[in-house]
Amino acid sequence: MCIVLLPFASTAFYGYKIYHEDIATTFEDIIHAQHRVLLPLERVQDIFWDISDEINDYAQEGGAGHIVSFEASAKAVQTQLSEMSLAIADNNHYEHILHGVKMHWEQVLKAAPGVMEGKPTAVDTKLQIFERELSKAGQQLGQLAEELRSESEEAHRTTLNAIKKFEAIALLAAILAIGLAVLTIYLVDRVLMSSTDKLVEGAMRVASGDREQEIDIQVPPELASVAKAFNTMTRQIVLQEAKLQSAARLDGLTGLKNRREFDLRVADKIAATRKKAGTTVLLLIDVDHFKRFNDSHGHLAGDDALRHVAMVLAAAARETDEVFRYGGEEFALLLSDIRQDQILQAAERIRREVEKTHILLPNGEYDTITVSIGAAEFTDGLSFNDIVGQADKALYQAKASGRDKVILAKS
């Protein structure tokens, strides 16, 4: 009996060794490394959005507040890059990517002081260099994230190879066991092989891009631990990807959908209009005398005011409507499924909602703020530029005729 059981004892020992060295340790190292690198990487990508907004706002509007915010964000980037350097100290093959990020970041820092203040119509070479280098740094951060994903996939392949080795040892033990061979093969097939197949199947699903279904393994405990570690890592990857996608769609200051999302949704609405799928109206909304407000109360108060207006617009919108930050102190609303006789009424309601609210200032006092609105209806045959141009022209008329009013573009 001892001789018969010896192959199984040896197999168990060797199988645990493979699990511990080639599977569990590999996954633990990968998860730990990705946790240390991905967190600062994500923070740097988020800060890049804020830095781009600050410099572009500075180039559009001027003001020392944007410079102060830029300097604070730049310090935060330096801190996160230092953390990433420490995190990849044991992974030399990542150093060249991080070195590239740092080189482009140095060019961003050199270009930023030369950006012209408040000259949106001038050709600003420094601003172009700033945006190009910031974009390149962001691309290299994306490359680093892709490298981490590839390393994760390599860990999956290592696990599959380790499992195959274990299968070979188990098969040899079954042949040598003679009397217990049939029983051993049966138990391995019903317990171990079933769990192994689940792990292999789960790894292949992740490799093919399906990350929704988790691997459910209860026995044996070793593979259950591997499955748990695998599921944890997969959830973390999905979470990081979701955060990156969300950051690309939303405005960092107000939390509304950004200009990129606006362009996509307007294109969709134009296509729907051609198919006669309901009436849509575009409202372009501009905060009245916003520069004066900033000059009087400071840019931080100005940011609070923009967030306040965004909150009011979001609350006033219907479930079928969509709210965007168009840029600077301008917002946009897409009103869906609305009758022509309701357009001015809906726009006026939104204007009054903003007008009747009060904004808390840094000195503890309250101030009011108003908006001017230009409205344009989506009609068949109009292009993106036509619709936005009509709404913009109506907005200009509203501002030129005294502000705090609504103008509907003529069809």
Backbone phi, psi, residue 378, to 5°: -75, 120
* Count of Cβ atoms closer than 10 Å to residue 26 Cβ: 19
Contact 331, 309 (CB under 8 A): yes
How distant, in Å, are the alpha carbons of 35, 131, 152, 384 from that of 148?
A: 10, 26, 6, 40
In single-letter form, the type of residue at position 380 comes to D
| Sign of the CA dihedral with 263 first, then 268, 272, and 274 last | positive
Burial of 251 (0-12, 13-18, 19+ CB in 10 A): buried
Cα 285-287-292 angle, rounded to 5 deg: 160
How distant, in Å, are the alpha carbons of 68, 254, 304, 308, 362 from that of 312?
A: 28, 11, 12, 6, 20
User: Known catalytic residue: 329?
Assistant: yes
Query: What element of type H or E holds 128?
Result: helix 125-176
Instruction: Provide the b/e sequence for 37-63 (b: ≥16 CB within 10 Å).
Output: bbebbbbbbbbbbbbbbbbbbbbbbbb
Tokens of 48: 């890049």
| Catalytic member of 322, 329, 330, 377 | 329
**280-287: strand order across its sheet:** 322-327, 330-336, 280-287, 371-377, 406-408
**Catalytic residue numbers, as ranges:** 329
